[in-house]
Amino acid sequence: MALYEFTEELSVGITGMDNHHRKLFDIMNKLHEAMKGGKSEEVLIGIIKEMSDYTRYHFDEEEALMASVNYVGLPAQKAAHKAFIAKIDEFKDQAEGGMAIFVVTKLASTAADWLKKHIMVMDKQYTEALKSGGN
């Protein structure tokens, strides 16, 4: 059983975005398993980079979706996304600085908590806006 699980409660009702969110949880599990399995620092850093890159991709796609309907909450979403990317980058920098083994669990836990809260509060709000064509 995966440590970090995407549940139906986290669904935003948009298949593409739900799939993105699932992928983020999969990367967190991959990171956790690599750490548990004693993988090298190089492998851990590669997975952290994958998380950073995929998070950026997801946020770009999600923001484009919201922009397509002139979603009024887009500026708040962008600010939240920017802050989260900064946090991920901080962990990535620490890992690349020789601390990978120490940041892996904290990174995965922080990302899972943030994602769950963000999806449940902010992302679920844009679902209604998309269904109604905006605002």
Q: Kindly report, residue by residue over 80-93, the tens digit of the pLDDT.
A: 999 999 999 999 99
The answer to the question of residue 7 being in a domain is: no
Structural domain range at position 79:
15-132
Q: What is the pTM of this model?
A: 0.91
The answer to the question of residue 8 being in a domain is: no
Say how far apart CA 118 and CA 40 lie, in whole Å.
31
pLDDT, residue 131, reads 77
User: Domain of 85: which CATH number?
Assistant: 1.20.120.50
The answer to the question of residue 3 being in a domain is: no
Give the tokens for residue 5: 């699980």
Q: Where are the alpha helices (DSSP H) in 37-99?
A: 41-67, 74-94
Q: Kindly report, residue by residue over 39-72, the tens digit of the pLDDT.
A: 999 999 999 999 999 999 999 999 999 999 899 9
Short-list 3, 133, 4, CA closest to 69 = 133
The answer to the question of residue 55 being in a domain is: yes
Domain count, the chain: 1
The answer to the question of residue 4 being in a domain is: no
The answer to the question of residue 1 being in a domain is: no
The answer to the question of residue 6 being in a domain is: no
Cβ-contact 62, 77 below 8 angstroms: yes
Say how far apart CA 91 and CA 55 lie, in whole Å.
14
The answer to the question of residue 106 being in a domain is: yes
Say how far apart CA 100 and CA 51 lie, in whole Å.
14
